[in-house]
Structure 1
Amino acid sequence: MWTSIEDSLCELGESPFWHPQERSLYWLDIPGRAVLRTRGDIGTPGATVERWALPTEPGCMAPARRGGLVIALRDGIYRAREWGGELAAMARVEHDVRTMRFNDGKCDALGRFWGGSLNEAKDRPNAALYCLDARSDTGISPTITQMANQATTANGLAFSPDARTLYWADTAAHVVHAWDWDAEANSLSHARVFQQFGAKPEGWTPASPLHYDGRPDGATIDAQGHYWVAMFEGAQLLRFSPSGERVASVAVPVQCPTMPCFGGDDLKTLFVTSARKGRPADEIAQRPASGMVIAMRVDTPGLPVSFFED
């Protein structure tokens, strides 16, 4: 059964992660230009949500091993040493910030931060996936590398538990790609389509009898290596085995789920961010949890969040 986190309302929630030391859920409101986090035990009296205003839209973030966060804003990747602290630029990319910004991303198990970009005009596939390596033990300065491209809306980034497969979605194309990934060398090969979803039927609405799964947004991996993806406008999460078999469809009480993550002390609470920006008033009335973080207990745990190493 789904529940909603009180005071979690956002225009477009994204990039959730569970911080095990703080026992807190973090997430972003992209158009709201804010980082949010829970304080106290979720769902208990006295629990609150804190908000930290940012100068531009945050696309994704991750916790840092040495404290604070790494955050991808519109024009580049920044480091904050503490909550509400100064944002120090770590890397910038060569995209037109008038129409391009960072979107989905997270850290890999070796502590590198990955972030994909998004073309707001949605007129061509010029978005890319970048990896920032700032590990101090490498003996080199922080380096950002483009790892993949030819997307319109970067999303669905996830890494298999054995660090041998990388997943990355293009929401606009309704596709999730997979690559063989050598984590140590950080190289990608054998690009392939992991899932191709059907396009939105012409004239489709949530009340329409026409079938539409939705389009792939944010994703996560569970401890069995299954890929969970939020299906924007599809009012569901889909779970796929590593071989690509659809093993579950989980209905959600929001039309536009945006990204799942696992949390709680046992990593068996599934948290999902969602969107309400631009949605019709009747949809919001029928699905009042839209824009909130929703949560449900599950049987299979997720993986702990990977921390940024610098």
Structure 2
Amino acid sequence: MNSVSAILLQSVPVQNVLGENALWHPLLQRFYWVDIEAGRMHWLSADLCQVHQLALPERIGSFGVLNVAADAPFQFVLALASGFALYHPHTGALRWLARPERHIRGNRFNDGRTDRQGRFWAGSMVEIQFQTSQCGALYQLNRQGQAVRHLRQLQISNGLCWSLDGRRMYHADSPRHQIWQYEFCTAQATLSQPRLFANFAENASPDGATVDAEDHVWTALWGTSTVVRLNPQGQVDLTLTLPVSQPSSVAIGGEHGDLLFITTSRLGLNARQLAEQPAAGDLFIYQLSRPLAVPESVCHLEPDWLAEPVCQDMPVL
């Protein structure tokens, strides 16, 4: 298969502080993302021109789409700064499920995604280091709404995605400048056999990622102005250069499955840097040379999802 090409179609001047969690909504067929620092969820109109937004009760790291009817009391599962919650964007209804790191001062939840079997995962990050032993972790929200810990000793959990068959999980701890691959048990949601998938330069921090219809991994490389596509062996197949230094997450969608959406950030840039890259924080949309979208998985929860959750631990790697 020849390598894919991508041409910038348009940029949307949203000026997010920290745009993240790019996601093509599989049920509503429209593009969603968040601004973590502003605590807002955004989405685009069908013509990709008009931006809608709503404020959330906390800063938000990531979210997933619930597999529910249109009249259900909740439509999304959120990884807010302090934990997991159910949410309805129109009524504002919110129901906390689990807050497993609420006691850790300086941590917040970050990147998340729903696996191929409909389980929502999200990891935490050390935002402010108060203790030398402080670290983040990766959690899976099981069907009863319980937070199950799988990885620990993380600094910034990021880049979560799964292979097409769901048997390999990709994950990055951004400050390590690496993406790791795990064998993933689809029945038990357990991880094994970690191995290095891709290694990047010291200035390149892998951020949000997704897997396309040819089982290639796309990831935003924070700090490098680039988004790369990696083949299943971890080799770079395509490099896109953006006019901003901090691309943050990627998604593939659109009516024909051939649009690449890239969120970016203004976080931490000084006045000179902002003057040099005035589009920092904007959304970029690329036209791909062929359809590569994979339908985003929706999150399944049991009927007793509103029961008071208990945070559990799994054997961790």
Higher relative contact order (CA 8 A, sep 6+): 2
Name which of 136, 161, 166 aligns with 1:127.
136
Cross-structure match for 1:274: 264
Cross-structure match for 1:25: 31
Q: Secondary structure at the match of 1:40?
A: coil
Which is further off, 19-28 or 52-61? Answer: 19-28
Cross-structure match for 1:182: 185
Return 5+ residue gaps in structure 2 as ranges.
Answer: 1-6, 302-317
In the aligned structure 2, how far is the partner of 1:269 from the partner of 1:305?
14
In the aligned structure 2, how far is the partner of 1:282 from the partner of 1:2?
25
Equivalent AA in structure 2 for residue 302 of structure 1: A
Cross-structure match for 2:308: none
Instruction: Kindly indicate whether the alpha-carbon contact (under 8 Å) linking 1:74 and 1:97 is maintained by their aligned counterparts in 2.
Output: no
Cross-structure match for 2:300: 309
Distance 1:239 1:124, change over 3 A: farther
Instruction: Kindly indicate whether the alpha-carbon contact (under 8 Å) linking 1:4 and 1:289 is maintained by their aligned counterparts in 2.
Output: no
Deviation at 1:230, TM superposition (A): 0.3
Provide, for residues 213-259 of structure 1, a one-character-per-residue CA deviation record: whole Å limited to 9, x for no partner: x2111111111111111000100011111111222211112110000
Provide, for residues 35-54 of structure 1, a one-character-per-residue CA deviation record: whole Å limited to 9, x for no partner: 111123113xxxx2121111
Provide, for residues 117-170 of structure 1, a one-character-per-residue CA deviation record: whole Å limited to 9, x for no partner: 010125666111100022xxxxxx322211112210000101000111001001
Q: How does 1:256-275 map to 2 (within 5 A)?
A: 256-275=246-265
Distance 1:26 1:84, change over 3 A: farther
Cross-structure match for 2:220: 230
Cross-structure match for 2:16: 10
Q: How does 1:205-220 map to 2 (within 5 A)?
A: 214-220=204-210
Return 5+ residue gaps in structure 1 as ranges.
Answer: 135-140, 201-213
Provide, for residues 74-121 of structure 1, a one-character-per-residue CA deviation record: whole Å limited to 9, x for no partner: 111110134352111112213545300000001112111000101012
2:75 pairs with 1:85: no
Report the RMSD for the aligned CA atoms in angstroms. Answer: 1.7
Equivalent AA in structure 1 for residue 289 of structure 2: D
Q: Secondary structure at the match of 2:272?
A: helix
2:175 pairs with 1:162: no
Q: Secondary structure at the match of 2:176?
A: coil
Instruction: Kindly indicate whether the alpha-carbon contact (under 8 Å) linking 1:239 and 1:246 is maintained by their aligned counterparts in 2.
Output: yes
2:147 pairs with 1:102: no
In the aligned structure 2, how far is the partner of 1:234 from the partner of 1:101?
24
Equivalent AA in structure 2 for residue 188 of structure 1: L
Equivalent AA in structure 2 for residue 63 of structure 1: V
Deviation at 1:4, TM superposition (A): 4.2
Distance 1:83 1:306, change over 3 A: farther
Deviation at 1:307, TM superposition (A): 0.8
Deviation at 1:2, TM superposition (A): 2.0
Deviation at 1:263, TM superposition (A): 1.2
Alignment TM-score, normalising by the size of structure 2:
0.86
In the aligned structure 2, how far is the partner of 1:223 from the partner of 1:268?
11
In the aligned structure 2, how far is the partner of 1:12 from the partner of 1:157?
18
Alignment TM-score, normalising by the size of structure 1:
0.87
Equivalent AA in structure 2 for residue 277 of structure 1: L
In the aligned structure 1, how far is the partner of 2:174 from the partner of 2:9?
26
Distance 1:299 1:184, change over 3 A: farther
Instruction: Kindly indicate whether the alpha-carbon contact (under 8 Å) linking 2:180 and 2:195 is maintained by their aligned counterparts in 1.
Output: yes
Q: Secondary structure at the match of 2:214?
A: coil
In the aligned structure 2, how far is the partner of 1:238 from the partner of 1:84?
38
In the aligned structure 1, how far is the partner of 2:42 from the partner of 2:199?
33
Provide, for residues 40-73 of structure 1, a one-character-per-residue CA deviation record: whole Å limited to 9, x for no partner: 3113xxxx21211112110000111115211111
Distance 1:78 1:234, change over 3 A: same
Distance 1:284 1:3, change over 3 A: farther
